[in-house]
Amino acid sequence: MSKGRVALITGSSSGIGAAVARRLAAEGARVVVNSARSEEAGRRLAAQLPDAVYVRGDVADPGDARRIVQAAVDACGRLDILVNNAGVTRFIPMSDLEAASAAVWREIFDVNVIGAWQTTVAAVPHLRAAGSASVVNISSVSATRALGSSVPYAVSKAALNHMTRLLAAQLGPEIRVNAVAPGLIDTPWYDEADAVWESSRDWVSEHTPLRRVGTPEDVAEAVVHLTRAAYTTGDVLTVDGGRHIV
């Protein structure tokens, strides 16, 4: 159980982040909701959860990353769990190398990799003070397979996986660091790619052992498991309905 613990979930105004916030709150944690832009949705979610707090800020900005963490500690008095969920992508066919410009690479890495790094570094002193703390990074199966919404996105998640292992080796025993690697999950990201989403959804449902795409709640369940798996660190837990085995 997470009763009495404080959890900061970045990028949690919708989708996977919101599901994680709801699940951790249901487990008894005091939740800090964050978003870079969707302030209204973030405040609305926080208002629905017991004693939750909303903090607006962009993890890609070094000052914001530090401020988000400090605001969480100032409001709640401690920090036990950090979920690095904030992420961005661009839907670019893998074969379209020209479209994956340097600007796209920088935008994606600034949030998915550097943002997670900055927020974790800012959180470490507070997590150490709490003891038995946990960091969970939201990665993707595209980190280990030649697929995904774009090449820069897949590479950013591969970097996040390795960062997870490197941090786990450095931050134990006080802080455990793990990651969840979801497969195709039904989130608002796919609103901008309806045709791609529908074809991918049908294909995954047909070829996955569990015969469906994932939900944000499926990922949230895995995150909660890792926050209380006391002898697990440096792990990347795949949540894809078994697609990786077929």
Domains of the chain in sequence order? 6-189+217-239 (3.40.50.720)
pTM of the model: 0.94
User: Three-state DSSP class for 101?
Assistant: coil
Residue 102: what pLDDT? 98
Q: Which of 45-54, 176-185, 195-204, 227-236 has the lowest mean pLDDT?
A: 195-204
pLDDT at 198: 66
Asked if residue 30 lies in contact with residue 5, where contact means CB atoms within 8 angstroms, the answer is yes
pLDDT band for position 192 (cuts 50, 70, 90): low
Confidence of residue 246 (pLDDT cuts 50, 70, 90): confident
Tell me what pLDDT residue 88 has. 96
Q: What is the rounded distance in angstroms from the CA atom of residue 224 to the CA atom of residue 40? A: 26
Q: Are 24 and 45 spatial neighbours (Cβ–Cβ below 8 Å)?
A: no
Span of 28-37, 48-57, 182-191, 219-228 with lowest mean pLDDT: 182-191
Query: 196 falls in which pLDDT band (50, 70, 90)?
Result: low
Which residue in the list 54, 153, 190, 231 is annotated as catalytic?
Answer: 153
Mean pLDDT of 178-198: 75
| Catalytic residue flag (residue 190) | no
- Distance from C-alpha of 220 to C-alpha of 204, rounded to nearest angstrom: 20
**Confidence band for 52, pLDDT divided at 50, 70 and 90:** very high
CB–CB of 45/154 below 8 Å?
Answer: no
